[in-house]
Amino acid sequence: MPSTTPPRITIITPSLNQADYLERAICSVLDQGYESLEYIVIDGGSTDGSTEIISLYEDDLAYWQSETDGGPTDAINQAIQRATGDIIAVLNADDLYLPGTLDRVAKRMTQEDSPVWAVGHCLRIGEMDDQLGQLNAVAPRDLAGFLQHDSGFLPNSASFYRRSVFDAYGCFDPQMRYAFGYELHCRLMAQGQKPAIIPAVLSAHREHAHSQSARNVLQSGAEFIDAAARYADRLTFDKRHLLWSNIDERRRIYALARSETLASRSRGYLWRQLLRRPWWLANDHYRQTLLRGVTHPSGKAVRVDAPARRAA
């Protein structure tokens, strides 16, 4: 029988100079009204007034600190070591939880099948909470498809893990600054774990010009490729060959992006817009078009339509 006692849920928020959004993130957690909540905020030594905001809510926090750390992954791993929750999740300082999220997660993760890893849908929002669209969680077809970025989409902001996941498979990789969530998901799938999809919108992911991923698009993309390459040896020979071909294509596209970004401000802007939507690169025709170029030999421009999102 499933337990009637609500599981203890630990939410971890890493932050560095996110004062414009931090209070909204904190309130989205505390306003859940979840009775068995442990909330930890790890600030990396902000200088923009973030610590003053955090201190306003310190009576409702299990723990918080503000000091220089080794980056977001290091901060999160520090908090995981301190966490006492049965379920652990990470909410960035510029993201939000929707009302009722923790109750939905607790209900799903205490059902009889008791998944160790659950993921829900998330909204895309702008700087002023304006809705930009929705990203639905999709369970990967298999490890090969997930590594190639053509199957599965698992939003970090809507991902929840049992404590046993970190005990058995380790914390987030401190070498990863941007792709640590994706790398953990690859690691779990390589060990035979599969995510349970919660068919509800659990979080909102904020897209803004000052986010780490937006300011470091090329570095972020390269990390995702490197994370996928780590698990090539877990595949059969034929699938491994396809993965290496896929990785080679994506690396060449990022090399083109780096060259174009340096050559022209306007073209650099266009490349950044493309690379912020990695699901576009899941389309083989689109990748091939980018690699061949978008100008016809006659000199006429070729129209390239953005493909529908299938994966990230």
On whether both 201 and 230 belong to a single domain, the answer is no
Q: Is residue 258 part of a domain?
A: yes
Q: Sign (positive/negative) of CA torsion 200, 129, 9, 214?
A: positive
On whether both 95 and 110 belong to a single domain, the answer is yes
Q: Is residue 309 part of a domain?
A: no
On whether both 13 and 106 belong to a single domain, the answer is yes
Q: Is residue 2 part of a domain?
A: no
On whether both 158 and 108 belong to a single domain, the answer is yes
- Give pTM, 2 decimals: 0.83
On whether both 55 and 193 belong to a single domain, the answer is yes
On whether both 99 and 219 belong to a single domain, the answer is no
Q: Is residue 302 part of a domain?
A: no
On whether both 192 and 108 belong to a single domain, the answer is yes
On whether both 175 and 236 belong to a single domain, the answer is no
The CATH number of residue 51's host domain is 3.90.550.10
On whether both 200 and 220 belong to a single domain, the answer is no
Supply the pLDDT for residue 298. Answer: 46
Total domains in the chain come to: 2
Cα separation of 36 and 38, whole Å?
A: 7
On whether both 124 and 235 belong to a single domain, the answer is no
Q: Is residue 36 part of a domain?
A: yes
Supply the pLDDT for residue 97. Answer: 98
User: Whole domain around residue 36: which residue ranges?
Assistant: 9-210
Supply the pLDDT for residue 270. Answer: 58
On whether both 171 and 265 belong to a single domain, the answer is no
Supply the pLDDT for residue 42. Answer: 95
Per-residue pLDDT of the chain (312 residues; tens, 9 = 90+): 455 789 999 999 999 999 999 999 999 999 999 999 999 999 999 999 999 999 999 999 999 999 887 788 999 999 999 999 999 999 999 999 999 999 999 999 998 888 999 999 999 999 888 999 999 999 999 999 999 988 899 999 999 999 999 999 999 999 999 999 999 999 999 999 999 999 999 999 998 766 565 556 778 888 999 999 999 999 999 999 999 999 988 888 877 777 766 666 655 555 666 665 555 566 666 566 666 664 444 444 444 444 444 443
On whether both 54 and 198 belong to a single domain, the answer is yes
Q: Which of 178, 210, 242 is the last residue of a domain?
A: 210
Supply the pLDDT for residue 289. Answer: 62
Supply the pLDDT for residue 192. Answer: 94
Supply the pLDDT for residue 115. Answer: 92
